[in-house]
Amino acid sequence: MLPVLVLATLGAIAALYVRGDLNPILCDGPCGPEYVTAPVGLDEPEPAPDDPAPVGAGAIDVSQLAAAVRGPAGSTDLGGHTGLVALDARDGATLLDESSGTFVPASTTKLLTAFAVLAEWGPRATFATTVRRDGDRLTLVGGGDPYLTARPSKSAVERADLATLAAATAREVGRGPVTLAYDTSLFAGPAASPAWEDTYVSGGVVAPVTPLWIDRGRVGLGRSQDPSGDAARAFAALLRDRGVEVRGEPARGEASGTRVARVRSAPLARIVEQMLTDSDNEAAEVLFRQAAIKAGEPASFAGGAATVERVLDEAGVPADGLVLDDGSGLARSNRISPRTLAEAVVRASSTPRLGAILSGLPVGGFSGTLDDRYGRAGDARGLVRAKTGTLTGVHSLAGIATLPGGRPVAFAVMADDTEAVNPFVTQAAIDRVATAMVGCACR
């Protein structure tokens, strides 16, 4: 009986490992690609000893690639305004350029936000939420951690929480009594973009942008209208739970005095990965401002836009016609060209500082906003890593398509005149373009 139990236990552990459920233990969060077991049907055969070139080498035949995508890219299901750019991700050489001008990018905007914040801060940066004391006054200071939570979380990206901060504070201040203020002065400008629909905040589509919130401003199934105040009130309750007498209700105010406690976010690389995988609007807007802060710009929508434009210019990414009124892509006034997105992906693929952009891209058929797309084995499943973008009448996809032999193509396909087409039909048409690329031998 004992050997059977042992075998059953080992089998269960093996199943958990293959599924990735042990990643938080083995890798302190999502494991890197070197630890991931290839899904069934995607295992690459071992190369023969006399293969002439390693995986990923070899030219890409431009005429064959153009022929492969001609039908899908010309589909009327993509509406009346489409663009496609494909570049060899290894050297940036242009493979296809069927585009002119700019498009409404929707959430592919987040690629540029990620590019800017990683370029400015680097992947190891963290953001601190602190408590300062001045006499009997405590101030909770927002540090712009987009994934600050109320209580401890097992998530690799939700590293900091108010319960831990309250425990550390209580050890320093004793039983009080104290009053509590909260400081949100890190960010400037409006909390909602003037370019957003009026109902985005009031209707719970997105929370007001602030450097202090918990659970990304979520309250149940909706968003808080006062995320900073809610965080401060939750912190006051946590202090009281630990025996600290907190008098009155928290009030907004600027911090002073000495720091008595601090919690730090996950590294920026993990934050960017999560933001891209989930297409998290709130996190993107916080990172938009964090990029501006590091660049010395106002921590506002305008400051974020100026920072993105400068960072792209310094990286040699063309940004003709770029317009950014937010960092998430909710603003329909945003304009980005397919060339800008594809070139940004090329730079990210060759710049270690920007590596979290590629590792954070959803994987077709497996993760994030692509987990239910490219679902059939052999139908580009696992071979497309890309950021999606969707608004009413707008569909876009930008990332990496891997051709046979491991040859990577950085691409962006955009369509922003599709109101007359069923959105699921347009989404499928976009996917057929990417599928056509990965299915092309192109040798």
Cis peptide bond prior to 177, omega within 30° of 0: yes
Q: Alpha-carbon distance 133 to 347, whole Å? A: 45
Catalytic member of 224, 228, 265, 279: 279
Q: Alpha-carbon distance 390 to 107, whole Å? A: 6
* Pair 427, 369: CB distance under 8 Å: no
Backbone angles phi, psi at 199, to 5 degrees: -90, 0
Catalytic member of 110, 224, 337, 387: 110
Q: Alpha-carbon distance 137 to 132, whole Å? A: 8
Amino acid at 429: A
Backbone angles phi, psi at 309, to 5 degrees: -60, -45
Q: Alpha-carbon distance 119 to 269, whole Å? A: 11
Q: Report helix angle 109-121 to 338-349, nearest 10.
A: 40
Measuring CA to CA, which residue among 312, 309, 306, 273 is closest to residue 292? 306
Q: Alpha-carbon distance 195 to 202, whole Å? A: 14
Catalytic member of 75, 99, 107, 328: 107
CA 443 to chain centre: 34
* Pair 80, 314: CB distance under 8 Å: no
Q: Alpha-carbon distance 438 to 419, whole Å? A: 28
Torsion of CA 15, 20, 26, 27, to 10 degrees: 170
Measuring CA to CA, which residue among 57, 89, 82 is closest to residue 344? 89
* Pair 297, 187: CB distance under 8 Å: no
3-state helix, strand, coil in the chain (%, to 5): 40, 20, 45
* Pair 265, 160: CB distance under 8 Å: yes
Q: Alpha-carbon distance 279 to 362, whole Å? A: 9
Buried b (16+ CB within 10 A) or exposed e, 202-218: eebebbbbbbbbbbbbb
Catalytic-residue membership of 224 = no
Catalytic-residue membership of 333 = no
Catalytic-residue membership of 279 = yes
Scanning the structure block, which residue is given the tokens 């976009």? 430
* Pair 222, 179: CB distance under 8 Å: no
Catalytic residue positions, numbered: 107, 110, 279
